[in-house]
Structure 1
Amino acid sequence: MNEDTLNMEVRKFLKQVGVTSQREIEHAILKAVEEGRLQGTENLDVKMTLELPQLDLKHCIDGKLALE
Protein backbone atom coordinates (compact mmCIF):
# COMPACT_ATOMS: atom_id res chain seq x y z
CA MET A 1 0.00 0.00 0.00
CA ASN A 2 1.23 3.46 -0.88
CA GLU A 3 0.45 5.81 2.03
CA ASP A 4 0.81 8.91 -0.15
CA THR A 5 -1.76 7.55 -2.59
CA LEU A 6 -4.10 6.65 0.27
CA ASN A 7 -3.72 10.15 1.73
CA MET A 8 -4.48 11.81 -1.59
CA GLU A 9 -7.49 9.56 -2.27
CA VAL A 10 -8.96 10.24 1.19
CA ARG A 11 -8.42 13.99 0.79
CA LYS A 12 -10.03 13.93 -2.67
CA PHE A 13 -13.05 12.06 -1.31
CA LEU A 14 -13.42 14.38 1.68
CA LYS A 15 -13.22 17.44 -0.56
CA GLN A 16 -16.04 16.05 -2.70
CA VAL A 17 -18.07 15.27 0.43
CA GLY A 18 -17.51 18.77 1.80
CA VAL A 19 -18.44 20.62 -1.38
CA THR A 20 -21.51 18.55 -2.23
CA SER A 21 -22.72 18.43 1.39
CA GLN A 22 -22.50 22.20 1.75
CA ARG A 23 -24.44 22.69 -1.48
CA GLU A 24 -27.17 20.22 -0.46
CA ILE A 25 -27.54 21.68 3.03
CA GLU A 26 -27.73 25.27 1.76
CA HIS A 27 -30.24 24.30 -0.94
CA ALA A 28 -32.48 22.45 1.53
CA ILE A 29 -32.42 25.31 4.04
CA LEU A 30 -33.11 28.01 1.47
CA LYS A 31 -35.99 25.98 0.03
CA ALA A 32 -37.46 25.41 3.50
CA VAL A 33 -37.28 29.15 4.24
CA GLU A 34 -38.94 29.98 0.91
CA GLU A 35 -41.72 27.46 1.59
CA GLY A 36 -42.25 28.76 5.12
CA ARG A 37 -41.13 25.57 6.84
CA LEU A 38 -38.29 27.50 8.49
CA GLN A 39 -38.14 31.10 9.61
CA GLY A 40 -34.38 31.37 9.16
CA THR A 41 -33.61 31.95 12.83
CA GLU A 42 -33.53 28.32 13.99
CA ASN A 43 -30.71 26.18 15.25
CA LEU A 44 -30.82 22.94 13.28
CA ASP A 45 -29.49 19.58 14.39
CA VAL A 46 -27.22 18.02 11.79
CA LYS A 47 -25.72 14.55 11.57
CA MET A 48 -23.15 13.13 9.18
CA THR A 49 -22.54 9.40 8.93
CA LEU A 50 -19.42 8.01 7.31
CA GLU A 51 -19.57 4.38 6.31
CA LEU A 52 -16.90 2.13 4.91
CA PRO A 53 -18.82 -1.16 4.59
CA GLN A 54 -15.87 -3.37 3.63
CA LEU A 55 -14.18 -2.49 6.93
CA ASP A 56 -17.34 -2.36 9.07
CA LEU A 57 -16.61 1.30 9.80
CA LYS A 58 -19.53 3.50 10.75
CA HIS A 59 -18.69 6.89 12.26
CA CYS A 60 -21.32 9.51 13.12
CA ILE A 61 -20.73 13.19 13.77
CA ASP A 62 -23.46 15.29 15.36
CA GLY A 63 -23.62 19.06 15.33
CA LYS A 64 -25.79 22.13 15.09
CA LEU A 65 -26.27 24.75 12.38
CA ALA A 66 -27.20 28.22 13.63
CA LEU A 67 -29.11 30.10 10.95
CA GLU A 68 -28.74 33.46 12.66
Structure 2
Amino acid sequence: MPPLGTLVYDAESGRDGILMHAGEHEDPYTRRKAIVAFLRWERGGREWTTNPANVSPVPLPAGRRARKP
Protein backbone atom coordinates (compact mmCIF):
# COMPACT_ATOMS: atom_id res chain seq x y z
CA MET A 1 0.00 0.00 0.00
CA PRO A 2 1.40 3.43 -0.89
CA PRO A 3 2.06 5.84 2.00
CA LEU A 4 -0.68 8.26 3.08
CA GLY A 5 -0.61 11.51 1.11
CA THR A 6 0.49 9.75 -2.08
CA LEU A 7 -1.17 10.44 -5.43
CA VAL A 8 -2.76 7.14 -6.44
CA TYR A 9 -4.90 5.68 -9.21
CA ASP A 10 -8.22 4.02 -8.34
CA ALA A 11 -8.76 1.29 -10.94
CA GLU A 12 -12.41 0.85 -9.88
CA SER A 13 -13.46 4.43 -10.64
CA GLY A 14 -10.70 5.38 -13.08
CA ARG A 15 -9.81 8.47 -11.01
CA ASP A 16 -6.59 9.75 -9.48
CA GLY A 17 -6.68 10.94 -5.89
CA ILE A 18 -4.70 11.45 -2.71
CA LEU A 19 -4.67 8.46 -0.36
CA MET A 20 -6.07 9.68 2.97
CA HIS A 21 -6.60 6.41 4.87
CA ALA A 22 -6.42 2.69 4.20
CA GLY A 23 -7.54 0.06 6.66
CA GLU A 24 -10.51 -1.08 8.66
CA HIS A 25 -13.43 1.34 8.83
CA GLU A 26 -16.71 1.01 10.70
CA ASP A 27 -19.67 2.68 9.02
CA PRO A 28 -21.23 4.94 11.69
CA TYR A 29 -24.77 4.23 10.49
CA THR A 30 -24.75 0.48 9.85
CA ARG A 31 -21.86 -0.46 12.19
CA ARG A 32 -20.50 -2.72 9.43
CA LYS A 33 -16.73 -3.04 9.33
CA ALA A 34 -14.82 -3.20 6.05
CA ILE A 35 -11.30 -2.72 4.76
CA VAL A 36 -11.37 0.38 2.56
CA ALA A 37 -9.16 3.11 1.14
CA PHE A 38 -10.32 6.73 1.40
CA LEU A 39 -9.25 8.95 -1.49
CA ARG A 40 -9.91 12.59 -2.31
CA TRP A 41 -9.28 14.76 -5.35
CA GLU A 42 -5.76 16.17 -5.57
CA ARG A 43 -6.99 19.75 -5.22
CA GLY A 44 -9.43 18.96 -2.44
CA GLY A 45 -13.04 17.94 -2.45
CA ARG A 46 -15.22 15.11 -1.33
CA GLU A 47 -13.61 11.79 -0.43
CA TRP A 48 -14.63 8.49 -1.94
CA THR A 49 -13.90 4.93 -0.90
CA THR A 50 -12.58 1.96 -2.81
CA ASN A 51 -11.10 -1.46 -2.18
CA PRO A 52 -7.39 -1.02 -1.30
CA ALA A 53 -6.55 -3.67 -3.92
CA ASN A 54 -7.70 -1.17 -6.59
CA VAL A 55 -5.16 1.47 -5.49
CA SER A 56 -1.75 1.91 -7.12
CA PRO A 57 0.75 4.80 -7.01
CA VAL A 58 0.79 7.29 -9.87
CA PRO A 59 4.33 8.02 -11.09
CA LEU A 60 5.08 11.70 -10.44
CA PRO A 61 6.85 13.88 -13.01
CA ALA A 62 10.46 14.81 -12.24
CA GLY A 63 10.74 17.57 -9.66
CA ARG A 64 7.30 16.98 -8.12
CA ARG A 65 6.98 15.57 -4.61
CA ALA A 66 4.11 13.74 -2.96
CA ARG A 67 2.12 15.69 -0.38
CA LYS A 68 2.58 15.01 3.29
CA PRO A 69 -0.56 13.86 5.14
Band of TM-score, shorter chain? under 0.3
Larger radius of gyration: 1
**Higher percent of residues as strand:** 2
RCO higher in structure (CA 8 A, sep ≥6): 2
**Higher percent of residues as helix:** 1
After TM superposition, the score normalised by the length of structure 2 is 0.23
